[in-house]
Amino acid sequence: MIDFAGRTAFVTGGANGIGIGIVRALLAEGCKVAVADIREDHIERALRSLDNQMVMGVEVNVASREEMARAADAVEARFGPVTLLFNNAGVNLFQPIEESSWSDWDWVMGVNLDGPINGVMTFVPRMIAGRKGGYIVNTASMAGWLASGSPGIYNTAKFAVRGMSESLRYSLAPKGIGVSCVCPGLVKSYIYASDDIRPDGLKADARPVDRENVKRLAGMHEVGMEPDVIAARILQGMRENQAYIFPMPDHREELAEYFQEVLADYRDYPEDPGYDERIRIEAFRRQSYKAAREAARKAT
């Protein structure tokens, strides 16, 4: 079981939504916490609300490898080695792929996929070198399981985060580092206003912001799950070393229905040349995969 007290945590997207909930939960557990966000004013507001000496703000664009490295250095200089990493920052464009531009792809994938990659590549080598174990939580989404026509780029990124998380879980377990992928549904957050923080350099061919749609999405997110509720469930999932943390029971039946539809697409084809040898290879892979899952469950 992961021991939170005294550890240093780095939370991206930490000034709002799920991020601020995680920050509050970690501080209550006795952690030192870095609130990493791209918006300086939001960081300042978050810090004023926390009134805790064991927290600091770090302005960072998670899509930048250089900025993430500088942020890591700043946090570790003040609080010591980071052993809890929450790759949580996210943005969204509520539009289909075929209506998206190259700059749309660069922006959404830059934050939602490159962000977690940069977090992992920045902090994991430091965790391994420090030999104090640790834990990584990557925020995917139910949109990483259940895709729709819109938001296409967001779906793409979140599916990728899920795959990265599972692979990391198996490779890092022997090193005493746990990995979970959290998959929330509707959250009380400001992701509907992502356009407000879109960099000027990534606005080429961007569609005009539909303010009426933003208002509609704001109303939907207002009834989303409270960040503190999700954060408590995330920490519980870490204690239980869950591969996937589903903080909302809302999608259980839908996911089961989807899995059945996927399985229904299998067909019983006649054996082809090389079938027997391929099955032997796949049997070995299947056994290894099962062993990796079992080892990861027992690792922390």
Among all residues, which ones are annotated catalytic?
154
Question: CA 62, CA 238: separation in Å to the nearest integer?
Answer: 23
Q: Is 59 strand, coil or helix?
A: strand
Question: CA 136, CA 85: separation in Å to the nearest integer?
Answer: 5
Question: CA 133, CA 110: separation in Å to the nearest integer?
Answer: 28
Question: CA 146, CA 286: separation in Å to the nearest integer?
Answer: 25
65-79 vs 115-130: helix crossing angle, rounded to 10? 40
- Looking at the DSSP assignment, which residues form a beta bridge with residue 56? 34
Dihedral angle over CA of 29, 139, 142, 216, nearest 10: 90
Residue type, 255: L
Task: Classify residue 154 as left (phi > 0), alpha (psi -120 to 50) or beta.
Answer: alpha
